[in-house]
Amino acid sequence: MVIGAGVIGLSTAVRLAEAGLHVQIRAARPPQETTSASAGASWGPYELADERILHWSEQTRLILEEIAKDRSSGVRLVRGLEVAPFPLDPPAWVRDLSDFEPCPADQLPPGYVSGWRYTSPLVSMPRYLGYLTRRLGDYGVPIEIGTVGSFKELAGAARVLVNCTGLGARYLVPDDQVFPTRGQLVVVDNPGIHTFFQDWAEHEDMTYILPHDDYVVLGGSATPGSENLTPDPARAAAIVDRCAAVEPLLRSARVRRILVGLRPSRPSVRIERDLVDGNVLIHNYGHGGSGLALSWGCADEVLALSELT
C-alpha cells in the first residue's frame, strides 16, 4: 500500500503496479488537491546534498522524455535559458545534455553574468497528475481518500507499506527533520512565449518563466519554515515584475491565479526500509522542491527495496 497521492506517491504506485504487484493507495487528499498540483514544474537536479540525486534525476529525465511522446500527459520538451547573477560554471548534469550550449554574456538579460541553454521537460502538473491516475486505473489501482493516524493502523492491510506522505511525515513517522518551505507562483495567459527561463537565486525570491500551451507559470519564492497558504499580492506583483523585466511580453499578461504550496523539505531525501509491527515500511519522502525531478528514480529505488522482502 502506498500512502500519499502526490507526484511521488503516484509515480511509485505506477512503478510497483507495472512490476506486477497488487497496489492500492491511501491518501488524505486526491491528487489534484496535493502540493504537487501547485508546482511549476520543471526538471532539474538542484538539491545535491545527497550523492544519489544525480542518478535519480537522470532516470527521471529519461522517463519524462518518453512520456512527452504522449501529448495528453502534460509533459513537453522545451528549450530555454538558465542564468546566474554571478560567475558560475555550468553543472556537470547540464553539460552532459545533448543540446547544451553556453550563452555569451552579451546575450543574457541585464543583471546576469553566466548562462546556458538546453532542453528540459516542463510539466503541467494538473494534467500530469491526471495522466498518472489514468495509468494507475489501467492496472486497477484504487485511490482511497482517508487519513492515516499511524502506520500501525495499516499493519496487516498490506505486505509492504510505502510512506510517500511528504510534509505529513513530520507527524506520521514522526520526523522532526521535515519542515515546510512555502512557495508562491503566478499563472498568467501565455502572450506568445515558447522558451523557458530560470535563474540561480541565492535568496528566497527566484525568477522563472515556464511556458505551457496557453498559460505561463511565473515564479517564484521559497520561504523555509512558513506554513502560510494565503497568497501574498505584493509578492505576486514582485514575481510578475521580475519576470517582465526578462520578458516584456509578460507585462500585460492577464493573471489567472496565484498558487501557494508547502514544499516538503528535509536535509536529505529519505528512502529506506523500516519495520512496523513486523510489516515492511519503505520511506520515500523529503524531496523538497525536487519531487517531480526525482520521482521516477526514487520510484525505482522503492521497487528495488520492495523486492528484498
pLDDT digits (tens, 9 = 90+) for 198-224: 999 878 899 999 999 999 999 999 999
Alpha-carbon distance of 136 to 13, in angstroms, equals 7
Q: Which domains does the chain have, with CATH numbers?
A: 1-74+124-177+267-309 (3.40.50.720), 78-120+179-265 (3.30.9.10)
- Dump pLDDT digits (tens) for 269-304: 999 999 988 889 999 999 999 999 999 999 999 999
- Dump pLDDT digits (tens) for 100-121: 999 999 999 999 999 999 999 9
Phi-psi region of 134 (alpha: psi -120 to 50; beta: other; left: phi over 0): alpha
In sequence order, the 6+-apart residues with CB closer than 8 A to the CB of 99 are 79, 117, 118, 119
**On the CB side of 187, how many CA atoms lie within 13 Å of its CA?**
18
Q: Which three cell numbers stand for residue 6?
A: 502526490
Residue 307 — pLDDT band, cuts 50, 70, 90? confident
Among residues 21, 49, 66, the alpha carbon closest in space to that of 268 is found at: 49
Query: Is residue 269 packed enough to be buried (19+ CB in 10 Å), middle (13-18) or exposed (0-12)?
Result: buried
Alpha-carbon distance of 270 to 169, in angstroms, equals 10
Give pLDDT, residue 220. Answer: 93
Give pLDDT, residue 277. Answer: 84
- Check whether 309 has a pLDDT greater than 60: no
Alpha-carbon distance of 122 to 126, in angstroms, equals 12
Mean per-residue pLDDT, 151-172:
93
Angle between helices 7-18 and 125-138 (to 10 degrees): 30
Longest dimension (CA), the chain: 63
Please state, as a whole number, how many other Cβ atoms lie within 10 Å of the Cβ of residue 88: 15
Residue pair 239/73 in contact (Cβ under 8 Å)? The answer is no
Give pLDDT, residue 156. Answer: 80
Mean per-residue pLDDT, 172-182:
97
- Dump pLDDT digits (tens) for 119-154: 999 999 999 999 999 999 999 999 999 999 999 999
Lowest mean pLDDT among 90-94, 168-172, 252-256: 90-94
Alpha-carbon distance of 164 to 271, in angstroms, equals 10
Q: What is the DSSP letter of 202?
A: S
Mean per-residue pLDDT, 158-179:
96
Q: Which residue has the cell 513517522?
A: 173
Average pLDDT, the chain: 95
Residue 50 — pLDDT band, cuts 50, 70, 90? confident
Alpha-carbon distance of 29 to 5, in angstroms, equals 7
Residue 46 — pLDDT band, cuts 50, 70, 90? confident
pTM over 0.75: yes
Alpha-carbon distance of 89 to 101, in angstroms, equals 12
> Angle CA(174)–CA(291)–CA(254) in degrees, nearest 5?
120
Alpha-carbon distance of 289 to 211, in angstroms, equals 19
